[in-house]
């Protein structure tokens, strides 16, 4: 056999390996093929190809493993049990940029399914290798590494702390300063996932100087980047007054309010969430938002969208109104009550109705003037109906009852109370009778008997007197 014939055998073998991994990588993109591939033992067949002498075969084998592991946790578990992770981690430091991206994709696909699988990546030294990739010259490698780190960090505080301890945060802050939009997006998302778990982790992100760079990107024209930036700032601000004030000190107001008019629904939602997380802490922060025109802007935003996009804005109005009479009056003056009443009546989801009920209760609980502002929108009968409906969720019933109680205990606007004399159950009726008593009884003894009869007819005083006697 000649030398050429011998080499031809190796060439055929290489072509067969190449064709095999390429075909498997293609098959793995279609869900209907996954179970067949799994039963055929594909994981164990791909593993040796990760060490193939041909770089393209290595890369394609890693890509195929990533697609398989991405499909479900059983296959991700098979990758872990097949002892493939140490091999990938070792190769991350040694191979070219194409292999690094494929290997990081495998780690991302494994880590996304559960804290246990993410912990397996940590245990085999994956974090250190991924953090090194954040310093790579190629932005695609940085992006792939950031994706993997984000899927690990999002599970819980312990895994996020492990990502922080590996030194990822300063490098992620550098990544959001890179010109590539895709890299900026994922870096902001990872910072958000780290910050969400605890004040300490959020403080680590702040200490790395992230807030200033995030705030600069609020008006970036890329909608997906704005979503992540606003989310990251929200996750930082939510934990404490100090962190919220640090976000405010970057002078995001009134600039951030323009995002409430964005075409992207999730930019609107994340903007409302950010303002809500700031407002909830103190009356002073809420007043700052009111002074910047934030209440009117949020009310307009609620009116321009539907469903869960409305939810943070509804809650924001409730938080602001809860702080003080003056802040609740600011919501009323900005025409927030009619918009909340519309949400209460029109939204199909119980959790959104419950939020609207809670917000109305926070507005109406302060003074008779506040309660009347809610009552004249005809919200009280809607709250009663939701409370008494067997189709309402338990949370909606509880919040509707609490809101009614808060409003009724302050309401002296009798035309709004009168229908409750006939329809309300006893536990609600007692609050209505109490308000009639406060308004009417001091006047009874000042009227002549004829005037008293007219008064009792007008406000159904006989029913009230009967209930008091009984």
Q: Under a CB-based contact definition with an 8 Å cutoff, are residues 427 and 396 in contact?
A: no
How large is the average pLDDT for residues 32-47? 88
How large is the average pLDDT for residues 64-72? 90
Summarised one tens digit per residue, pLDDT across range 89-104 is: 888 777 788 888 999 9
Q: Under a CB-based contact definition with an 8 Å cutoff, are residues 173 and 209 in contact?
A: yes
Of 342, 334, 298, nearest to 316 by C-alpha is: 298
For residue 365, the SS3 value is coil
Q: What is the pLDDT of residue 242?
A: 95
Kindly state the tokens that stand for 373.
Answer: 């502002």
Q: Minimum mean pLDDT among 290-299, 311-320, 409-418: which range?
A: 409-418
Please write down the HEC assignment for all residues of 114-154. CHHHHHHHHHCCHHHHHHHHCCCCCHHHHHHHHHHHHHHHC
Where does the pLDDT of residue 433 fall: very low under 50, low under 70, confident under 90, or very high at 90 and above? low
Rounded CA separation 15/272 (Å): 56
Summarised one tens digit per residue, pLDDT across range 283-308 is: 999 999 999 999 999 999 999 888 89
172-176, 304-308, 422-426, 446-450 — most confident range = 172-176
Q: What is the pLDDT of residue 448?
A: 47
Please write down the HEC assignment for all residues of 221-276. CCHHHHHHHHHHHHHHHCCCHHHHHHHHCCCCCCHHHHHHHCCCHHHHHHHHHHHH
Summarised one tens digit per residue, pLDDT across range 237-251 is: 999 999 999 999 999
Q: Under a CB-based contact definition with an 8 Å cutoff, are residues 396 and 363 in contact?
A: no
**For the chain, percent of residues with pLDDT exceeding 90:** 57
**For the chain, percent of residues with pLDDT exceeding 70:** 89
Q: What is the pLDDT of residue 13?
A: 84
* Matching residue, tokens 């802040």: 327
Q: Measure Cα distances from 172 to 83, 184, 194, 213 in Å.
A: 29, 9, 11, 11
pTM of the model: 0.86
Q: Minimum mean pLDDT among 14-18, 48-52, 413-417, 446-450: which range?
A: 446-450
Q: Is the pLDDT of residue 55 over 70?
A: yes
Cis peptide before 296 (omega within 30 of 0): no
Q: What is the pLDDT of residue 140?
A: 93
Rounded CA separation 111/178 (Å): 26
Q: What is the pLDDT of residue 440?
A: 60
Where does the pLDDT of residue 465 fall: very low under 50, low under 70, confident under 90, or very high at 90 and above? very low
CA atoms within a 13 Å half-sphere pointing along the CA-CB vector of 260 = 25
Q: Under a CB-based contact definition with an 8 Å cutoff, are residues 297 and 266 in contact?
A: no
Rounded CA separation 95/297 (Å): 52
Q: What is the pLDDT of residue 430?
A: 67
| Count of other CB atoms within 10 angstroms of residue 332 | 20
Listed in sequence order, the DSSP H helices in 307-393 are 311-323, 325-333, 336-346, 350-364, 368-375, 379-388
Q: Which residue has the higher pLDDT, 449 or 416?
A: 416
Q: What is the pLDDT of residue 411?
A: 79
Where does the pLDDT of residue 454 fall: very low under 50, low under 70, confident under 90, or very high at 90 and above? low
Q: What is the pLDDT of residue 469?
A: 47
Q: Is the pLDDT of residue 452 over 60?
A: no
Specify the DSSP class assigned to residue 73. Answer: H
Q: Under a CB-based contact definition with an 8 Å cutoff, are residues 410 and 369 in contact?
A: no
Radius of gyration of the chain (CA): 31
Q: Is the pLDDT of residue 460 over 90?
A: no
Round the average pLDDT of the chain to a whole number and report it.
87
Q: Which residue has the higher pLDDT, 462 or 106?
A: 106
Rounded CA separation 342/353 (Å): 10
Q: What is the pLDDT of residue 459?
A: 47
Q: Minimum mean pLDDT among 72-81, 334-343, 384-393, 429-438: which range?
A: 429-438
Q: Which residue has the higher pLDDT, 435 or 169?
A: 169
Q: Is the pLDDT of residue 125 over 80?
A: yes
Q: What is the pLDDT of residue 146?
A: 95
Kindly state the tokens that stand for 296.
Answer: 């009117």
Q: What is the pLDDT of residue 425?
A: 72
């Amino acid at each position: 056999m000649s030398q050429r014939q011998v080499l031809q055998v190796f060439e055929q073998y290489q072509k067969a390996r190449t064709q095999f991994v390429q075909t498997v990588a293609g098959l793995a993109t279609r869900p209907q093929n996954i179970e067949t591939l799994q039963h055929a033992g594909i994981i164990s067949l791909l593993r040796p190809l990760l060490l193939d002498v041909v770089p393209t075969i290595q890369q394609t084998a890693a890509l195929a493993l990533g697609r398989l592991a991405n499909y479900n946790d059983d296959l991700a578990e098979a990758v872990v049990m097949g002892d493939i992770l140490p091999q990938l981690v070792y190769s991350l430091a040694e191979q070219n940029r194409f292999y690094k991206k494929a290997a990081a994709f495998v780690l991302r696909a494994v880590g996304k399914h559960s804290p246990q699988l993410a912990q397996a990546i940590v245990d085999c030294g994956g974090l250190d290798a991924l953090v090194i990739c954040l310093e790579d010259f190629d932005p695609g490698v940085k992006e792939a590494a950031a994706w993997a780190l984000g899927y690990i960090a999002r599970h819980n505080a312990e895994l996020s702390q492990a990502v922080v301890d590996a030194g990822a945060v300063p490098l992620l802050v550098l990544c959001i300063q890179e010109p590539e939009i895709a890299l900026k997006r994922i870096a902001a998302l990872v910072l958000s996932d780290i910050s969400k778990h605890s004040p300490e982790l959020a403080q680590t992100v702040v200490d790395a100087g992230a807030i200033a760079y995030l705030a600069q990107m609020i008006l970036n024209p890329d909608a997906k980047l704005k979503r992540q930036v606003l989310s990251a700032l929200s996750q930082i601000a939510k934990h404490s007054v100090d962190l919220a004030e640090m976000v405010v000190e970057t002078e995001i107001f009134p600039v951030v309010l323009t995002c409430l008019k964005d075409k992207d629904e999730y930019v609107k939602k994340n903007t409302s969430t950010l303002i809500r997380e700031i407002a909830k802490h103190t009356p002073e922060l809420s007043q700052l938002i009111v002074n910047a025109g934030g209440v009117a802007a949020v009310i307009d935003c609620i009116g321009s969208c539907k469903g869960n996009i409305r939810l943070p804005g509804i809650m924001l109005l409730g938080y602001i109104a809860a702080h003080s009479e003056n802040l609740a009056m600011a919501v009323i003056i900005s025409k927030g009550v009619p918009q909340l009443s519309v949400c209460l009546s029109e939204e199909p989801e119980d959790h959104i109705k419950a939020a609207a009920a809670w917000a109305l209760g926070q507005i109406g609980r302060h003074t008779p003037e506040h309660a009347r502002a809610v009552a004249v929108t005809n919200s009280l009968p809607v709250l009663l109906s939701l409370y008494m409906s067997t189709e309402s969720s338990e949370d909606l019933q509880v919040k509707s009852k609490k809101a009614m109680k808060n409003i009724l205990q302050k309401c002296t606007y009798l035309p709004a109370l009168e229908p409750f004399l006939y329809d309300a159950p006893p536990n609600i009726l007692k609050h209505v009778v109490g308000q009639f008593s406060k308004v009417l009884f001091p006047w009874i003894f000042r009227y002549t008997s004829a005037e008293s009869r007219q008064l009792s007819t007008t406000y159904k005083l006989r029913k009230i007197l009967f209930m008091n006697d009984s």
